[in-house]
Amino acid sequence: MSQERGKPAPAFALPDPAGRIHTLDEFSAAQALLVAFICNHCPFVVHVLDGLVKFAADYRARGLATVTISANDAAAYPQDAPAKMAELAKARNFAFPYLYDEMQDTAKAYGAVCTPDFFLYDSSRRLAYHGRFDGSRPRNAVPVSGSDLRRAADAILSGGAVPPDQIASQGCSVKWKPGNEPSWT
């Protein structure tokens, strides 16, 4: 289930691994906002992670804020638990929040399907892009560049139109808690 372009960003109030609560309103001054659903263990996330960290750094100076969220069931996937999230964020020098959606309500509200899954919002917090980072995959020869997401961010930040050709993200499915699976799975 994908959100329609132009839909407002769903509100959230989620903790980082240290327990500090972050909200959508915290990013209100940014010209654009990337909400990325990731996790620690998915090979697709691991493949693009350094590229995502670089993307966030490159675009922060241009007014784009980034927030990452893990919604995976940490009981079934302990490598995605908050303590492990904190280790990953420190090891990879995240300069953005990495939040835990324990109840999985935020992932459902956004329509997250897989990790990684990227939602890019304009200054009015309207969805402008929901798609892949780029065409690279763990087992293809395409280099990680973030080209699809960069093209969309460049358009938003320059006041242009986001390219309509938005290719869906590909990766590991969100690891829903038993009985909590959304209707689109």
In the predicted model, is pLDDT for residue 1 greater than 70?
no
Give this prediction's pTM. Answer: 0.96
Counting residues of the chain whose pLDDT is more than 70, the rounded percentage is 98
Residue 136 main-chain phi, psi, to 5 deg: -75, 150
On the question of pLDDT at 123 being above 50, the answer is: yes
- Domain span including residue 65: 13-173
Query: Is residue 185 in a domain?
Result: no
SS3 of 100, please?
Answer: strand
Average pLDDT over residues 106-124: 97
Q: Which of 18, 24, 151, 12 is nearest to 87 (CA)?
A: 18
Q: Would you say residue 95 lies in a domain? A: yes
Whether residue 52 contacts residue 126, with contact meaning beta carbons closer than 8 Å, is answered with no
| Structural domains in the chain (count) | 1
| Average pLDDT taken over every residue of the chain | 95
Q: Is residue 4 part of a domain?
A: no
Task: Evaluate whether residue 182 is within a structural domain.
Answer: no
Note the pLDDT of residue 81: 98
Cα–Cα distance, 97 to 118 (Å, whole number): 15
pLDDT tens profile 150-184: 999 999 999 998 988 899 999 999 999 999 999 88
**CATH at residue 119:** 3.40.30.10
Mean pLDDT (whole number) for 92-117: 97
180 part of a folded domain: no
In a domain, 147, yes or no: yes
Residue 151 domain-assigned (yes or no): yes
Over residues 2-57, the pLDDT tens digits come to: 568 889 999 999 999 999 999 999 999 999 999 999 999 999 999 999 999 999 99
- Phi, psi (deg, nearest 5) at residue 66: -125, 140
The answer to the question of residue 181 being in a domain is no
